[in-house]
Structure 1
Amino acid sequence: MKMTLSNGKVAIIGAGPSGLAAAKSALEEGLEPVLFEQIGHLGGQWNQGAPHSGVWAAMHTNTSAINTRFSDFPHKVGISLFPHHQEILQYLESYANHFNLLPYLRLHTRINNVARGPKGQYIVWSVNERQEQRAELFQHVIVASGRYNKPRYASLPGLAEFGGRVLHSFHYRNSADFAGQRVLVVGNSISGLEIASELGQNPTVRVLSSCRKPRYILRKQLYGRPTDCVAFTRAAVYTSRALAPAQVAEDLKQVILSTCGNPADFGAPRPHESLLQAGISMNDQYLDLAKQGRISARGGVAYFTADSVVFQDGQAEPIDAVILATGFDVNLPFLSQDIRDTLQAGTDHIDLYHHTFHPCLPNLAFIGMFPQTGPYFPVVELQARWITACWSGARPLPGREQMEAGLAEFRSFKQRRYETTLHEMATQLAADAGVAPSLERYPELARELLFGPLTPAQFRLEGHGALPGALADYLQCLEQIGSYAGLPLAEPQYQQLQQLLEALPQETTLHLLSKELETQAEPAL
């Protein structure tokens, strides 16, 4: 097979949100992308029916519209607060058309292998729908193939002998497929709760929901606003620095209990007293359905028989089907063994500096390949902007020593935690990309910059890639959730700020914010 030279082009693997953001960012930086997509349509997970999509027919986002978008392309007026998956696919299609990405898209083209080439380049082997193989040498490669496309099947005693239907949540499509059946949903992640809830609203289905570790359950709105706009803020970043993890968890638990209740009050298993031990999930209907008896919430599975499940408390229940909501493994089969070894690629994580670069793999970058709590759209776009700005020379690429230190921090992190969060990732990547909005330039946004949502529009206010219409867009996002710039602090916010000031006296930005907010709160003379 003859190898062709790509003349400095950027190979981008995957045409979902991450890949589209990468292609658009590359063009902004004067780089030419080649966007590979293995099927005949863009959209990634949001393209229901694609082999790599786990979207089901009635699925809506569990993240708000203002956080499920990119920084410079607002949703159409009237979109749902928590959009249907088809609305997100239409948004991605419109994004690709608006920014003229389609000419750079190679559909029906699967990547078989990516390996190191000469002079820091990479050899990319691909095959198209006519089974024509091609090898190309690229100066840069971005892996944007998705984190949630390889189902993880739990190893449960007796499951192999169970005679009913067994499937992963990735393959669930609608409740009608289980009409008249007794269905066990294993796992209480968001997908597990959503599928159990959808089944529970079908009167012909008897639903059992099992979990080894009961979690506290948030609803999709808190205090009248989307939960992702309340929980993921810069204040949350400062709080994690100021307080011990146990204190942060206890404070959050009290918020959940006061707004959503304890699952045990709804007939579900009682979570561990420590939120750090229990964890959090999210769903609007699950607890109410459990209280109504539409979902029978149980503990962990002990074993299966040919036609039943036996729980750890010894109770047995006849069942017809099992849905395993048991997570996903990292899936990078197209990377050479050498690259996977360098990344120390496991089932949960790959070792990267700020989840993006590796010091031993120059000109290779990754987008969205990490487990995260909270919306991904703001973060993957920041990654795309940072990567392409570094490769164009608009931003300095981190040095080897800096990356090695970051890798050491990540290896320590993954020993303690599985997921990162939106607020951790967005604030870090905005700093890396040099696009974090500053108080000095926008003093009237002091309250929202600290306690407001990390909606992507704010990352076009200043820095590389700033846009003149970003402020109006950002303010419109705030209005959509009933938040307005310039309002005084609420009492809980004031108390939280004072707590942070006492705990973090060295944080200059916090003190500037405090002074600005005090000025705004003073009565006019």
Structure 2
Amino acid sequence: MTATGRVAVIGAGPGGLVAARWLRSQGFTTTIFEQGDEIGGQWTGRPGRSGVWPAMHTNTSRVLTAFGDLDPGPGATFPSNHEVLGYLHRYADQFDLPAITRLGTRVRRVRRTDGGWLVATDSGVETFERVVVATGRFQTPVLPAVAGLDTFTGSVGAHSSYDFRDPARYRGKRVLVAGGAISALEITAELVFAGADRVVLTQRRQRYVLPKLAGGVPTDHRVFTRYGALAAERLPADEIDRQLKEIVLEAAGEPQQYGAPAPHPSLSVAGVTLSQHYLPLVAEGRIVVRPWLTAVAGDRVTFADGRSEQFDGIVFGTGFRVAMPFLDETMHRVLDRHTFHPELPGLAFVGMWDQSGGYFVPLELQARWIAYAWAGLVEPPVVTPERPPGEPQKTRMNLVAVTFARAAGVEPTLSHWPGLHRALLFGPLAPSCFRLEGPDAAPDATQRFARDAAAFGAITSNTMTERETAYWRLLGSDT
């Protein structure tokens, strides 16, 4: 069964491209609107339109930074931003997406009308039966309210990590980095390697920190598993916390062992992030950690413990807020599973949730769900307006991926794949495992997923370890 009708996709980043690919596969006439002059979204690295700096690498492994129709091929375990952009161009070319993309076209307004949606750009107004919003959630940085910040007189200024480009300009400078998530930690390390005279990190709380690679295996292969998603549904919160913390401490130990502040004993309260170099550089004294900044006066910054210090520059890695100025705010405040609005049929969102872990795999699953639902391949979502408004809480990649896979009808049934049982539970949530069953199942998916699960030696047999067996038993025999 295929569908007909015109669909506008707003944004030509990973979410927009994969949405257009799957919508076209179901027969929808699709047009992509992109305000920039190149496809790729954040991965273009264009100043003012991207927070990707020139030396940035992914925090997700090559296996999980890909879609199900195009293997990433050989390369770095954690690809550079240039490699990711090249991959997106290859993906777009494979599905002839440049031909349906209008570059340099900013969408000014999207408004519902009888029987469809009006999409207004500088070139005019067009009507579409459906609209997919895929503009990304990492374009509007948030700076904290700090007394006197506007008085800062350091020679290299105060900027968001979104505008961080050239670490060399900080060589020989005293730099304060604010934030505790991966961008702040990675930029802190880059500044050290670029020759900054002094690098200080200020944070509200110390998170647990995982290296990107532990024991030769990318940590996203160990942490974002299908077992973890099932456990989140069936086990008490304190047991889930204990299991995740066990993985983290085995890989990296406690932050205070490196000289960083001690985090909250509960991993769910403290949070966890990734950085390959942050803790070792703290242990070497090349990064100094301070509590949160409370005031700025000229080039002097005061911290919550009362100490103060002079700096030449401040970089804020303090997060983003979702901004979709072409929509009425109420259109994206209440969503079912981050995707469909309960009162606005024909409108869907891609990639607008906040999570730990890489976005490529869940983006594709969300895109498939939208395409299949609108084409009638799966049951349409039953959404109600009772969900509370506001930004959804941060989730984890494996939880949202399994949610979308179930909705799209492509979540594999464990009992159908005894030879892959361990890999499906404790291996990486590679895109290949979501081509085993359901619409668009691929004949080579079994071989591809077995390869992906064993890519770094994590899953090389179907025999569970003693710990995996114990974890599995906790879920019950009916899983």
TM-score tier (shorter): over 0.9
- Say which SS state the counterpart of residue 137 (structure 1) adopts: strand
Once the two structures are superposed, residues 293-316 of structure 1 have per-residue CA deviations (whole angstroms, 9 ceiling, x without a partner) of: 111111111211111111111111
How far, CA to CA, are the matches of 1:440 and 1:260 in structure 2?
Answer: 34
1:411 aligns to what? 388
Matches within 5 A, 1:261-272: 261-272=253-264
Structure 1 residues 476 and 258 mapped into 2: Cα distance closer, same or farther (>3 Å)?
closer
**Offset at 1:137?**
0.5
Deviation, structure 1 residue 141: 0.3
1:343 aligns with 2:332: yes
**Could you tell me how far apart the structure 2 residues matched to 1:457 and 1:63 are?**
16
2:308 maps to 316
Task: State the SS of the aligned residue for 2:325.
Answer: coil
The equivalent residue for 2:435 is: 460
**Bigger CA drift: 486-495 or 17-26?**
486-495
Q: 1 CA distance for matches of 2:261 and 2:225?
A: 30
**Cα distance in 2 between the residues matched to 1:200 and 1:27:** 47
Do the aligned partners of 1:20 and 1:96 also contact (CA within 8 Å) in 2? yes
Deviations 1:149-200 (A, max 9, x none): 1011111112111112010000001310211110100001110000001111
Identical-pair percentage: 39
Matched, 1:427 2:422: no
SS at match of 2:301: strand
For 1:57, what is the secondary structure of its paired residue? coil
SS at match of 1:148: coil
C-alpha distance in 1, partners of 2:20/2:248?
A: 39
Rounded to whole Å, the distance in 1 between the matches of 2:233 and 2:375 is 34
Contact 1:114 1:125 in 2 (8 A): yes
Q: How does 1:92-111 map to 2 (within 5 A)?
A: 92-111=88-107
Shift of 1:342: 4.2
The answer for the alignment partner of 2:376 in structure 1 is 393
2:120 is the counterpart of 1:125: yes
Offset of 1:487 from its aligned partner? 2.4
Give the match for residue 115 of structure 1. 111
Aligned equivalents of 1:480, 1:276: Cα separation in 2: 29
Q: Which residue of 2 aligns with 1:242?
A: 234
Segments of 4+ in structure 1 off by > 3 A?
483-486
Cα deviation, residue 484, structure 1: 4.3
Q: Is the contact made by 2:138 and 2:322 (CA closer than 8 Å) also made in structure 1?
A: yes
Aligned-pair CA distance for 1:88: 0.3
Is structure 2 residue 117 aligned with structure 1 residue 140?
no
| Contact 1:72 1:470 (8 Å CA) reproduced | no
The separation in 1 between residues aligned to 2:269 and 2:396, in whole angstroms, is: 17
Code of the aligned partner of 2:201: S
Q: C-alpha offsets along residues 84-139 of structure 1, whole Å, 9 cap, x if unaligned? A: 000000000000111111111111110000001112x1000012xxxxx3100100
* Greater mean deviation of Cα atoms: 317-326 or 463-472: 463-472
Question: Is the 1:444–1:486 contact (alpha carbons within 8 Å) kept by the matching residues of 2?
Answer: no
Aligned length: 474
Displacement after TM superposition at 1:244 (Å) = 2.3
Tell me by how many angstroms 1:473 deviates: 2.0
Instruction: Give, in whole Å, the separation in 1 of the partners of 2:24 and 2:331.
Output: 29
Q: 1:479: Cα distance to partner?
A: 2.8
Aligned runs of 1:120-199 on 2, under 5 Å?
121-127=116-122, 133-164=123-154, 165-199=157-191
* 1:380 and 2:371 are equivalent in the alignment: no
Displacement of 1:223? 4.1
Tell me the equivalent position of 1:519.
none
In the superposition, relative to structure 1, how do residues 469 and 333 fare at CA in structure 2: closer, same or farther (>3 Å)? Answer: same
The within-5 A match list for 1:439-458 is: 439-458=414-433
Contact 2:419 2:462 in 1 (8 A): no
TM-superposition CA deviations, 1:45-73 (whole Å, max 9, x none): 10011532100011000001111100111
TM-score by length of 2: 0.95
Gaps of 5+ in 1: 1-6, 128-132, 345-350, 511-525
- The reply on whether 1:29 has 2:26 as its aligned counterpart is yes
Q: Deviations over 1:427-472 (max 9, x none)?
A: 1111100011223432211111111111111111121111222222
| Cα deviation, residue 255, structure 1 | 3.0
Matched, 1:74 2:71: yes
Structure 1 residues 8 and 50: alpha-carbon distance in aligned structure 2, compared to 1, 3 A threshold: farther
Aligned letter for 2:330? D
Give the superposition deviation at 1:475. Answer: 2.1
The residue type paired with residue 147 of structure 1 is: R
CA RMSD of the aligned region, Å? 1.7
| Equivalent in the alignment of 1:211 | 203
Question: Which residue pairs with 1:355 in the alignment?
Answer: 338
Partner-residue secondary structure (3-state), 2:302:
strand
- Distance in 2 (CA, whole Å) between partners of 1:382 and 1:276 is 26
The DSSP-based 3-state class of the residue aligned with 1:380 is: helix
Corresponding residue SS for 2:305: coil
Match for residue 288 of structure 2 among 277, 289, 296: 296
Gaps of 5+ in 2: none
Distance in 2 (alpha carbons) for counterparts of 1:63 and 1:343: 28
SS at the partner of 2:450? helix
Verify the 8 A CA contact 2:19 2:367 in the aligned structure 1.
yes
TM-score, structure 1 length as denominator? 0.87
Moved more, 320-329 or 437-446: 437-446
Q: Tell me what 2:351 maps to.
A: 368
Alignment partner of 1:411: what SS? coil
Alignment check: 8 A CA contact 2:146 2:295 kept: yes
What residue number does 2:471 align with? Answer: 496
Query: Which segment drifts farther, 15-24 or 223-232?
Result: 223-232
Contact 1:53–1:149 (CA under 8 A) maintained in structure 2: yes
What residue in structure 1 maps to residue 325 of structure 2?
Answer: 333
- Residues in 2 aligned to 1:64 and 1:123: alpha-carbon distance in whole angstroms: 39
Kept in 1: contact 2:11–2:135 (CA 8 A): yes
